Amino acid sequence: MQVYKFGGASVNSVDRIKNLGYILQNRTDNEPLMVIISAMGKTTNALEKVAEVFFSGDTDNALRLFEVIKQQHLTTAKYLLVTHYNPCYTLLSDFFTEIEWLLHDKPVREFDYYYDQIVCIGELLSTCIVSCYLNEIGVANTWLDVRDIIRTDNNFRDATVDWERTKQAVESLDFVHNNIFLTQGFIGATDDNESTTLGREGSDFTAAIFANLLNTNSLTIWKDVAGVMNADPKQFPDAELIPELSFEEVIEMAYYGAQVIHPKTIKPLQNKGIALYVKCFLDANLQGTTIRQKTVKHLPPIIVVKSEQALIELHSQDFSFVGEQPMIELYKIFSQLKIKANLLQTEAISLQICLDDRKEKIEQLALAASTLFDIQVAKNLTLLTIRHYNEAILEQLTKGKEIVLLQKTPQTVQALYR
Ligand code: ASP
Ligand code: MG
């Protein structure tokens, strides 16, 4: 048994969906397969906009924005499907109606609830179209509403999966009579059958949940890049492919901000020793990257650059040592404000924290910490992280920059510069 996950870029046009069909037609084995698919292209962003406009009370504009999304999907279906167009149209229409009804209501609950009810439609639409297309070209598959399977709590927009109930649902899937199931990533439902989402880019995580509960040998994530690279090729044209990585390395990369795989994806795989293949849907013959439980030696320097960073300096007001009570208070503030420090350095009576520069968060933090510390904020900084660094590459990448903070371990160097 295998799990395949296709992201938004792999279904963002008629040609890309045909390409996906080609990949499935050319599978060399006939193993049972679970296929997880995201919303097409930038649909999730467009639906976020619908949710915002709806919540602001502007029904007409919300409906107008939704109409655009609707027409895009209908156009794709029209160009893609012949025999299966009518049944597909019926399925899509049901989803359209559901959202349009909701958009005619006045919001009475919290924003995150409406966000999930609206945004989840992106994956439902894309999977309906792809499923119909695959059936039309002879790749027989059964479409599932993943909300009947991935059960969650009601922490909308960042729902937590109920593994026990999800496991029961997964185990009831009949792979004997269905060789291929096709379903959505990113979304789930509560016990009251309200839709939920698992956090942006959450489809990788959904795929890992299925791999874990189905005890598969592997999970393949199909992307528009050759595999996992040692740097973002848009910033570093000579970035190279890394053919093999350990789970640990990938977790570290994600932690430092590399946009490789959704960080939550790794644990369900690591726990069951399931290999993760990152492959290129544009050329399935490329080797890609294999991630598994195995130490990989001689990795190239792995580079992550995060711009729009802020540095907050906190000074003890009365010379009390930062490491004690004030630190405990500070961590409480972090957790209340859901702040993640990208870099933290303590000295005798001061502390430096590097954060993503989000204005409201920084203001909230400054306010909350102002009773304990004197505070200074510096902005427009860039955080460079290099795993497996050497001095030469550090020098090369920081040449001519003013470094405001530098932290080194034998494995990793981080430089915050202006
Ligand atoms: N469609 C969702 C998003 O764009 C989930 C995903 O693609 O993983 O965040
Ligand atoms: Mg995506």
Which of 201, 259, 264 maximizes ligand 1 atoms within 8 Å of its Cβ, making it the mutation to test the pocket? 201
Is the pLDDT score of 1 beyond 90? yes
**Share above pLDDT 90 across residues of the chain, in percent, rounded to a whole number:** 86
CA distances from 196 to 17, 238, 277, 311, 388 (A): 26, 40, 27, 34, 39
For residue 220, the CA-to-ligand 2 centroid distance in Å is: 15
- From atom 2 of ligand 1, which residue's Cα is the shortest distance away? 201
Counting ligand 1 atoms within 8 A of each CB, the residue from 6, 10, 44, 124 with the most, and so the one to mutate, is: 44
Residue 305: name the closest of 362, 409, 233, 388 by CA. 233
Sheet with 218-223, strands from edge to edge, namely: 142-143, 180-184, 33-37, 2-6, 218-223, 275-280, 289-292, 244-246
Question: Nearest to residue 414, comparing CAs of 404, 247, 396, 261?
Answer: 404
Domain that holds residue 385: 302-417
Residue 97 confidence (pLDDT): 98
pLDDT at 372: 84
pLDDT at 349 over 90: no
- Residues 374/315, Cβ–Cβ less than 8 Å: yes
Asked if residue 137 and residue 9 are part of one domain, the reply reads yes
pTM of the model: 0.90
Using most ligand atoms within 8 A of CB, pick from 4, 69, 203 the residue to mutate for ligand 1: 203
Q: Does residue 209 fall inside a structural domain?
A: yes
Question: What is the average pLDDT across 183-190?
Answer: 98
Report which bound ligand comes closest to the CA of 126. 1
Output the six-digit token pair for 170: 């997964």
Do 187 and 88 share a structural domain?
yes
Domain count, the chain: 2
CATH number of domain containing 398: 3.30.2130.10
Give the number of the ligand closest to the Cα of residue 121. Answer: 1
* Domain CATH for 112: 3.40.1160.10
Ligand nearest to the CA of 199: 1
The verdict on residue 264 lying in a domain is no
Does the Cβ of 10 fall within 6 Å of ligand 1? no
Q: Which of 273-277, 278-282, 329-333 has the lowest mean pLDDT?
A: 329-333
Does one domain contain both 208 and 308? no
Last residue of a domain, one of 224, 239, 267: 224
User: Is residue 182 in some structural domain?
Assistant: yes
Q: Assess whether 214 and 320 both reside in one domain.
A: no
* Token pair listed for 386: 């290099």
Q: Which two tokens stand for residue 209?
A: 């949940």
Do residues 11 and 143 both lie within one domain?
yes
- Between vectors from CA 189 to CA 100 and to CA 251, what angle results, nearest 5°? 115
pLDDT at 58: 97
Ligand 1 pocket member 265 (CB < 6 A):
no
- Domain boundary (189, 224, 259) is at 224
Band (318; pLDDT cuts 50, 70, 90): confident
In a domain, 117, yes or no: yes
- The verdict on 206 and 325 lying in the same domain is no
Residue 285 domain-assigned? no
What the block records as the tokens of 89 is 């149209």
- pLDDT, mean of residues 244-271: 91
Kindly give the distance from the C-alpha atom of residue 346 to the centroid of ligand 2, in angstroms, as a whole number: 37
pLDDT value at position 322?
67
- What spacing in Å lies between the alpha carbon of 382 and ligand 1's midpoint? 26
Taking ligand 2, which is a single-atom ion, which protein residues have CB atoms under 5 Å away?
7-8, 38
In a domain, 253, yes or no: no
pLDDT given at position 328:
86
Ligand 1 in reach of 288 Cβ (< 6 A) = no
Residue 323, pLDDT above cutoff 70: no
Residue 174, domain member (yes or no): yes
Report the range of poorest mean pLDDT among 3-12, 184-193, 237-246, 326-335. Answer: 326-335
State whether the beta carbon of 201 lies less than 6 angstroms from ligand 1.
yes
Say if ligand 1 is within 6 A of residue 44 CB: yes
- How confident is the model over 127-136, as pLDDT tens digits? 999 999 999 9
Q: Do 219 and 367 fall into the same domain?
A: no
| Residue from 141, 276, 294, 168 nearest 217 by CA | 276
